[in-house]
Amino acid sequence: MLDIKLIRENPELVRENIKKKYQDAKLPLVDKAIELDNAKRAAIKEADELRANRNSLSKQVGVLMGQAKKDPSKLAEAEKLKEQVSAQAARLAELEAKETEYETELHKVMLLIPQIIDPSVPLGPDDSCNVEVQRFGEPVVPDFEIPYHTEIMERFNGVDMDAAGRVSGNGFYYLMGDIARLHEAVLAYARDFMINKGFIFCIPPFMIHGNVVEGVMSQTDMDAMMYKIEGEDLYLIGTSEHSMIGKFIDQIIPEQSLPQTLTSYSPCFRKEKGAHGIEERGVYRIHQFEKQEMIVVCKPEDSMAWYEKMWRYSVELFRSMDIPVRQLECCSGDLADLKVKSCDIEAWSPRQQKYFEVCSCSNLGDAQARRLKMRVRGEDGKMYLPHTLNNTVVAPPRMLIAFLENNLRADGTVVIPEVLRPYMGGAEKLERR
């Protein structure tokens, strides 16, 4: 959410940013915001003048009532002033109601106006215009057939989609045996990887209030993703970023405690509306999964440096498990409204012979901080808004697709990279049972 002062003083910048994001339908929101802001400020000004005038009249009434003890003619004069005070009180109540109404409507409009994107973001209407920046590791296509990922898992008796369908419906799964153990090994390794980078490990709440949801994501994303608990002001989180950033709602953060670097584990729940194609069946796009996340709260001048560090952590993690990856810069039309800059880390799929998304790193500037009323008290005592960033450390079971395809061998075994062996009881490979 933008500062209303920016819209008031530089509306053309805001309009140009909306055009860069290919959201021309939102252009009228700029004028609507200015109109509501002007109306609200006019109501506040008139209300302040009425309060000052009412206080003056009230003092005059007091004086006249005192004088009326000696001069009864003053009593009528005092009554007239009382009538003016009463009339002004009614008008003041009306203005205060208007002020609340304008503020509510302005807030709704402001939530829809996108954040100003970073100048380095490539322009384009959708993800087809995302730009590959660099690759890490050599993508290999083996000389044997790579089965679909659920078929690989089934060879190890590691997945049961049919049973999950009977119990929960489409978009769910049972992981079992070595595949389930591998799933947890990757999460444990990712946790320790981030702890070794200096991040504090956290297990957050898995349900959050509606005002936190509004603070951390756009309305469009909320409707498409979030499951609401019926009859309660609680939502299941779609990622632990939601509750981790929400941790700072309405808080004043001491500047000396920045940066806050946290890594969190959680299950994640998503509606995943819409059809996504045959390549996204199996455990690729599901309603429930587990994830290790990283978030940073920092000074504004440090956020781009942290953005660079965070996506590189993802690359390092995946390369340590022998998975080739690439960095893909998200274009303007592919950025969610709260994001200033974002990139995806995509893993190589030997079966599809293309890359697919496994991590998403985002710099949200001060958008979440403004929505959540997060503030930092500087050494000079002045308040300012921090910047927030988030990135996927690892999100199995999707990550398992890349892992299994890249570590599968012609004899049907799956090699376990050295970094995961301590979490797999020392095993060097998975063998079919």
Please state whether 157 falls in left (phi above 0), alpha (psi between -120 and 50) or beta: left
pLDDT in tens, 373-388: 999 999 899 999 999 9
SS3 406: helix
The first and second tokens of residue 414, run together, are: 């799956």
* pTM, rounded to two decimals: 0.88
Tell me the pLDDT tens digit for each residue of 175-219: 999 999 999 999 999 999 999 999 999 999 999 999 999 999 987
Query: pLDDT band at 49, cuts 50/70/90?
Result: confident
Residues 276, 280, 286, 292, CA torsion sign: negative
Task: Give the Cα separation of 370 and 372 in Å (integer).
Answer: 6
The full length of the chain comes to: 433
Report the distance separating Cα 151 and Cα 36, nearest Å: 58
Confidence of residue 55 (pLDDT cuts 50, 70, 90): low
Residue carrying structure tokens 């979490």: 423
Rounded mean pLDDT of 242-251?
97
Q: What average pLDDT does range 324-346 have in this prediction?
A: 97
Q: What is the mean pLDDT of the chain?
A: 91
Q: Which residue has the tokens 């019926």?
A: 230
Predicted confidence at residue 278, as pLDDT, reads 40
pLDDT band at 82 (very low <50, low <70, confident <90, very high): low
Per-residue pLDDT, 412: 94
Is 105's pLDDT higher than 90?
Answer: yes
CATH of the domain spanning 127-430, picked from 3.30.930.10, 3.40.630.30, 3.40.190.10, 3.30.70.580: 3.30.930.10
- Listed by start position, the domains of the chain span 4-112, 127-430
190 alpha-carbon distance from chain centroid = 21
Residue-level pLDDT at 417: 96
Position with higher pLDDT, 78 vs 195:
195
Cα–Cα distance measured from residue 54 to residue 60, given in angstroms and rounded to the nearest whole number: 10
Which CATH number fits the domain 4-112, given the four candidates 3.40.605.10, 3.30.70.1560, 1.20.1250.20, 1.10.287.40? 1.10.287.40
